[in-house]
């Protein structure tokens, strides 16, 4: 397999650098996958507060040039682009070795894609993460690494007894219903995506134990918000809104009663930054990151709210359940709240309207609408 990334159209127009030119007086934050949805929002927040940021990305996902142009125009000299693939350890090591901290967000993001090409999914998510850790270890410096993991490491949660309501599934267990799934839930990797992210998750935690590297993990639920190029395979909240605003049908896999705790991206970014800033006390820690019980909604409930926003009910089509789909997942965020003082501050209805306003301002159609399976 060749590790040389293909330079996408638009890179030269954006004035991208093949390597970052950064003043040695200040070390930059490095964000792998920083052209993506969460990464670009995180980069914006960091640079707005005076940090230099290197976005390390292969730009393989259609449409992320928009995010890069936005960051470049807004932040100018603080923004640096390294066109690189996390599978290429040799290429990215010099950049990571100079980092103040690393937010590792690059990855293959879709369960469906992992089912089609498990080998590529492994190379990107598992080996790519190991490469990031080895680049840090090889630097000889204790560079913090914050890793974007997923709730899929808990598997389908098939052991949870569920009650089926008119528009949502709910756990029969009252405590679980009240607080959500905690970090003590046993791991149960399911689907190649769950396995590759789970392997990466465990490597990140082990490098804190084995090599005293200051690492930590955030196991994310459903994050949504501006700059999300949602597709049918990943980023469902934005995908639903885009399709509805374009007047196109939305495909629901299953009955639509499955529940997720959705978290607005601004709150997710705050969690990443807070964890990095407190890594000295949080080294080797893992946290579930989501909207929590207050932002737990079913797909059907989101569709109802989209109808209220757009003024018309979206057309819906149904298809078979997808492998490993959880009937219900809500993150228990009490550990983040008590240990770091973090809190989800944006209610899901408010966040959905903010995302709709951003999409309207960007103009439709967005390139993300027809975007196929790709890396973030």
Question: Per the residue annotation, which of 193, 203, 207, 272 is the catalytic one?
Answer: 193
193 counts as catalytic: yes
Between CA 11 and CA 14 the distance in angstroms is 5
Cis amide leading into 365 (omega within 30)? yes
CA–CA gap between residue 325 and residue 299 (Å, rounded): 13
Closest C-alpha to 241, from 294, 309, 167, 295? 309
Are the beta carbons of 114 and 193 closer than 8 angstroms? yes
Q: List, in sequence order, every beta strand (DSSP E) within 116-232.
A: 145-150, 162-164, 169-171, 215-220, 222-224
Give the other-Cβ count within 10 Å of 355's Cβ: 23
DSSP 8-65: PTTTTTTT--SS----TTSPPEEEETTTSHHHHHHHHHHHHTT--EEEEE---STTTH
Rounded Cα gap, residues 337 and 271, in angstroms = 10
Please work out, in degrees rounded to the nearest 5, the angle formed at the alpha carbon of residue 136 by the alpha carbons of 130 and 141. 155
Query: Contact at 8 Å (CB) between 56 and 32?
Result: yes
Residue numbers annotated as active site = 193
């Amino acid at each position: 397999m060749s590790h040389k990334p293909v330079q996408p159209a638009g890179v030269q127009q954006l004035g991208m650098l093949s390597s970052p030119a950064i003043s040695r007086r200040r070390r930059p934050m490095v964000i792998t996958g920083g052209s993506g949805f969460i990464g670009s929002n995180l980069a914006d927040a960091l640079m707005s507060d005076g940090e230099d940021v290197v976005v390390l990305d292969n730009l393989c996902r259609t449409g992320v040039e928009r995010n890069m142009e936005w960051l470049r125009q807004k932040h100018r000299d603080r923004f640096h682009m390294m066109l690189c693939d996390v599978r290429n350890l040799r290429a990215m090591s010099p950049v990571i070795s100079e980092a103040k901290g690393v937010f590792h967000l690059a990855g293959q993001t879709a369960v469906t894609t992992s089912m089609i090409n498990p080998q590529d999914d492994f190379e990107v998510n598992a080996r790519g993460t190991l490469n990031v850790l080895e680049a840090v270890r090889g630097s000889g410096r204790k560079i913090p690494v914050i890793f974007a993991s997923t709730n899929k490491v808990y598997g389908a949660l098939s052991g949870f007894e569920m009650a089926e309501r008119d528009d949502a599934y709910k756990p029969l267990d009252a405590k679980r219903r009240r607080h959500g799934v905690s970090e003590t839930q046993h791991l149960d990797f399911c689907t190649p995506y769950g396995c590759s992210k789970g392997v990466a998750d465990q490597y990140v935690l082990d490098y804190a134990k084995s090599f005293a590297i200051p690492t930590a993990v955030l196991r994310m639920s459903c994050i949504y918000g501006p700059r999300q190029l949602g597709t049918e395979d990943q980023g469902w909240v934005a995908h639903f809104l885009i399709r509805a605003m374009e007047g196109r049908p939305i495909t629901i896999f299953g009955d639509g009663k499955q529940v997720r705790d959705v978290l607005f991206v601004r709150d997710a970014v705050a969690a990443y930054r807070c964890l990095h800033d407190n890594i000295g006390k949080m080294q080797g820690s893992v946290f579930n990151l989501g909207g929590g019980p207050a932002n737990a909604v079913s797909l059907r409930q989101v569709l109802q709210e989209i109808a209220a926003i757009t003024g018309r009910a979206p057309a819906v089509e149904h298809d078979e359940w997808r492998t490993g789909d959880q009937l219900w997942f809500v993150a228990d965020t009490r550990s983040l709240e008590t240990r770091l003082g973090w809190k989800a501050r944006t209610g899901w209805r408010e966040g959905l309207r903010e995302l709709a306003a951003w999409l309207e301002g960007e103009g439709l159609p967005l390139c993300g609408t027809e975007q196929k399976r790709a890396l973030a």
